[in-house]
Amino acid sequence: MEFSAPLLQSIERLQYQATPGEFAVQAGLPLATVERDLQQLAIAVGGHLQVATTGEIVYKYPSNFRTILYNKSVWLQVKKYTDLIWKVAFYIIRMSFGLALLASLSIVVLTILIFTIATMFSDNDGGGIDFGDWGSSGGGSSSSWGGTWWYFDWGGSSTPADSVDPATKEKKQLNFLGAVFSFLFGEANPNANIEELRWRSIGQVIRKNQGAITAEQVAPYLEEATPQSEDHILPVLVRFNGVPEVSEIGDIVYRFPDTQTIAQQRKFKHLPPYLQEKSRRFSGATPEQVGLICALGALNFAGIFFIGALLKGAAAFGFLAIVGSVYSLLAVYAIGFVTIPAVRLLWLKWTNNQISKRNEKRRQRLTWLHSPDAERKLGFAQQFQVQRTLSEADMVYNTEEDLLEQEIRDAKYLPDED
| Cα–Cα distance, 404 to 59 (Å, whole number) | 11
Burial of 124 (0-12, 13-18, 19+ CB in 10 A): exposed
Q: Is residue 124 part of a domain?
A: yes
Q: Is residue 27 part of a domain?
A: no
Decide if 152 contacts 293 (C-beta within 8 A).
Answer: no
Strand partners, 123: none
Residues ≥6 apart with Cβ < 8 Å to 164: none
Number of domains forming the structure of the chain: 1
418 residues of the chain, pLDDT tens digit each: 689 999 999 999 999 999 999 999 999 999 999 999 999 999 999 898 888 888 889 999 999 999 999 898 888 888 889 999 999 999 999 999 999 999 999 999 988 888 788 778 764 445 444 433 333 333 333 333 334 333 333 333 333 334 334 433 445 789 999 999 999 999 999 999 999 999 999 999 999 999 999 999 999 999 989 888 899 999 999 999 999 999 999 999 999 999 999 988 888 778 999 999 999 999 999 999 999 999 999 999 999 988 888 777 666 666 777 888 888 999 999 999 999 999 999 999 999 999 999 999 999 999 999 999 999 999 999 999 998 988 877 777 777 544 344 444 444 444 454 4
| Cα–Cα distance, 414 to 29 (Å, whole number) | 27
DSSP 209: T
Q: Is residue 387 part of a domain?
A: no
Helix, strand, or coil here: 52? strand
Q: Would residue 97 be called left, alpha or beta, if left means φ above 0 and alpha means ψ between -120 and 50 degrees?
A: alpha
Decide if 99 contacts 176 (C-beta within 8 A).
Answer: no
Structural domain span for residue 295: 74-189+280-360
Q: Is residue 200 part of a domain?
A: no
Q: Is residue 235 part of a domain?
A: no
Q: Which contiguous run of DSSP H or E holds residue 377?
A: helix 372-381
Q: Is residue 393 part of a domain?
A: no
Residue 102 has, within 13 A of its CA and on its CB side, a CA count of 15
This model's pTM is above 0.85: no
